[in-house]
Every structure is written in C-alpha cells, then in structure tokens.
Structure 1
Amino acid sequence: MNIDALLQAETHFFQRYPGGFDDPALLPSVKKHRVEKMVAQCQEAFATTAFTHTEEVVQNWIKIVGRSSMVSLFEKPKFKDCLNSLSPQDKQQAVEALYEQLHGDAELGLNTLVTLFERHKMAKWSILSVVPAYFRPSVEVFVKPTTAKGVIAHFELDGLVYHSRPSWSFYQAYRAEIRAMKELVDVNLAPNNAAFSGFLMMSISGLK
C-alpha cells in the first residue's frame, strides 16, 4: 500500500471539504446516496426473522437494489427481471444464499449466488455486494468495478488483482485493504464504508 498517497489524499480532501462529509459542499451528494435510510431499510428487510417468507425477501431484495444509488440504472431492471423469472426452487436457493451471506457462512452465500446468477448473466459485483454493504455498513464493502480497479492501481495495493467474476478470495482481500486504509486516516473520512469508498473514488479523480 502506498501510505503517502493515502495521506496526501486525506490532506487534499480536508483542504477541499474542511467539514468532512458534513461539509455543506458535500451535502447534495450525501442526500443523494441516503446511506442511513438505506441501511435502516436493509437491516429491517433482511433481519433473521424475515427469511421465513421467501417471496417477501425476493421483493425486498429487488426494492433495495432498485433504490440504491450505488447500482447502475442499467443493472436494476435486469436484476428485477432475473429474480422474478427464477423458478420457485431457484428463488429459495437464492434467498438461502443471501441468508448465509448476511447471517451465516458468507463465503458459501457469495459462491452460491455467483453460480446461480451466472446462469442469468447477473453475477455482478455491484449486485452481490450492495446488500451486505448496507446491512453492515462499517464492516462490509461495496465493490464497484471502476472504483476497485482505481483504488488498487492508485494506492498500489500489491498482490490484489481485480477480476470481473466475483469471488470470495478477492472480496475478503479487498475488504481487508479497505479496513487497513481506514485505520490510517481521520475517522471523519469513514462514517461508513460507502462514504470511505466515496472518498477514495474522489481522490482518484482528483477530488472533482
């Protein structure tokens, strides 16, 4: 990791936005992403007790992805069509995998969803990481391909190679790097991991 690049990015960010993510200049962006609201909705929709109703979980999954500012407009309707077109057995498998991803064996959950969604060309990083990122906003990370590739290159995260096919090995390693980077900067840069990723993305693009 290039620590100097990270600390330089931190300095530039606070020069531009002295109030951090509470700075008035960033307020429109913060309101757009509505992270706190999405976190609350996600934690309610996917609490352990919610998983007794498969179809309800499926529809809530569609709603969360549809409302997320982090998922592209192009992917949202495709994901909705994908879930709605699944057979009852595949819906059950998808919901069970999501349960594992959030409440049990996260590696098993992710791998199962990759295998299932690949058949429908929906095994996308954004789709598979958005719910965990909202459900545990200070622990899990949202993997946006352009941001992940940019972070790896700009901050010289040696040994970490991005692949378009989601995998637990990459997710675990990328999450660990994000956690390590957070520990080196001001806590106000990371009210949650989505905000911290936003800071990293802005740093890569020159805080434009």
Structure 2
Amino acid sequence: MLDREKLKNLEARFLMQYPKGFADEEMVKILKKHKMEKMVSLTRECFSEAACSNIHVTAENMITVVSRSSMVSMFEKPKFRDFVRAMNEHEKAFMVNALRQMLHGKQQLGFEAMVAILQSGKLAKWSLVTIIPAYYYPTKEVFVKPTTAKDILRYFDVSEMTYKPTPSWKFYQQYRKLIKEAKGMVDKNLSPSNAAFTGFLMMSVKA
C-alpha cells in the first residue's frame, strides 16, 4: 500500500494548483490531447466479445488503437504494426484469442498468452500488453508505463513488489491493486480513469 501521508501531501499540492482535479479547466485541456473518451469508445466497439470473432478485423483494429494511442511510444507503434501484419493465420488467431481472454474470459491466461506472442517479435512491452485493457475498462484496468511505475514505487518506497521490463501477471495484479487502494484515499476528481490517476501521480512525484 502507498504511504497515506505522502499520498495526501501530493493530493493537497495538486488540488492547490488544480482545485477541481481533472475537472479543472487546465487539466481538461490536457485530457483532451489524450482523447480518452474517443479511445474508450473506439476500443469498446472494436473489441466486444462478438467483434473479436473476426480475427483479421480484430488484428487490424489492434493496430489502429495502438497507432492512435497517445500513451504508446512512437517507436513501438510501427514495430507493432509490422509485426502483426507479418503474422500468419495461426499467429493472428492466437493473438486475438489472447486479447479476447484478457477482456472477456480468463484474464491471466490471456495476459500470459499475449506476452508470449509479443515475445516472439521482441515486443513484449508493458505498454503494448496493457493499453487495450486500459481503454476497454478505464476505471478497472491499469496502463503500465515503465517510467511512471518505477517512479511511483521509488517515491513511495514500495518494497513488496519489483518492477521488471518483461510484463508479468504477478506484477500487473499487484500494481492494479496498489492503484485501486490509492484511488480510494483521495478526491474522486483525481481519478476519472486509472490512466488519469497514474498521470496525477506521475506529475506529482516528479514535481
């Protein structure tokens, strides 16, 4: 769990600058740049359980979402696109089924399968594994940005979990739980989505 006193101090400093949290005018401008509502809507449309039955369309939709995301590195976008388009039928089916399990079925199975298929292309990055779930379930799942995750753990001296570059289900579960517990300690205006909340933490621990 994050140190409550440290967290409340960050909250107080942030709310002094942005009294309405992410509803504050300046923060609304920042959020608009990320087009969160549009990305959530697009992701919900593209990756419903029914939509995931079409392997080729879903694979292309994965490319679209990754390409349009402001949270994924510009270096990773073309690599992911080329990797997916070079896949054979079996590989695409494996990847799409991994995503379907992550969103609608056995989440751990899907997560680990997604890591495995991306590893075959040396693309097992936290951003690529977590971006679509973070859009599909914006208040439930978490987007793991390596620098942000490491900064949060370092600032709050969290010793019970260890960040590693290769995505793991154990760390994902621990990090998601940490963010959920931290959200419950602060003003609701700091967490319109989990991505926004980790954004607040990222801005605050660096300030």
SS in structure 2 of the partner of residue 48 of structure 1:
coil
Q: Does 1:184 align with 2:173?
A: no
CA displacement at 1:187 relative to structure 2 = 0.7
1:55 alignment partner AA: H
1:154-203 CA distance string (max 9 Å, x none): 12223111000100000000000000000000111001101101100001
Partner of 2:23: 22
Q: Is the 8 A contact 1:57 1:95 kept in 2?
A: yes
SS in structure 2 of the partner of residue 99 of structure 1:
helix
Partner of 2:156: 155
C-alpha distance in 1, partners of 2:82/2:188? Answer: 40
1:24-58 CA distance string (max 9 Å, x none): 22233111111111101100100011022100000
C-alpha distance in 1, partners of 2:26/2:111? Answer: 37
SS in structure 2 of the partner of residue 71 of structure 1:
coil
C-alpha distance in 2, partners of 1:51/1:24? Answer: 37
1:200 alignment partner AA: L
C-alpha distance in 2, partners of 1:195/1:50? Answer: 27
Report 1:86-125 matches (<5 A): 86-125=87-126
1:125-145 CA distance string (max 9 Å, x none): 000000000000010000000
1:71-92 CA distance string (max 9 Å, x none): 0111101110111111110000
SS in structure 2 of the partner of residue 161 of structure 1:
coil
Runs of 5+ consecutive residues of structure 1 not aligned to the other structure = none
Q: Does 1:194 align with 2:195?
A: yes
C-alpha distance in 1, partners of 2:50/2:121? Answer: 28
1:106 alignment partner AA: Q
Structure 1 stretches of 4+ with a deviation exceeding 6 A read: none
Q: CA RMSD in A?
A: 0.8
Partner of 2:130: 129
| TM-score normalised by the chain length of structure 2 | 0.97
C-alpha distance in 2, partners of 1:36/1:156? Answer: 33
Number of residue equivalences: 206
2:73 alignment partner AA: S
Report 1:138-177 matches (<5 A): 138-177=139-178
Q: Does 1:203 align with 2:207?
A: no
Q: Is the 8 A contact 1:58 1:95 kept in 2?
A: yes
C-alpha distance in 1, partners of 2:28/2:191? Answer: 15
Partner of 1:80: 81
1:135 alignment partner AA: Y
| TM-score normalised by the chain length of structure 1 | 0.97
C-alpha distance in 1, partners of 2:123/2:42? Answer: 23
1:107-133 CA distance string (max 9 Å, x none): 101111111111101100000000000
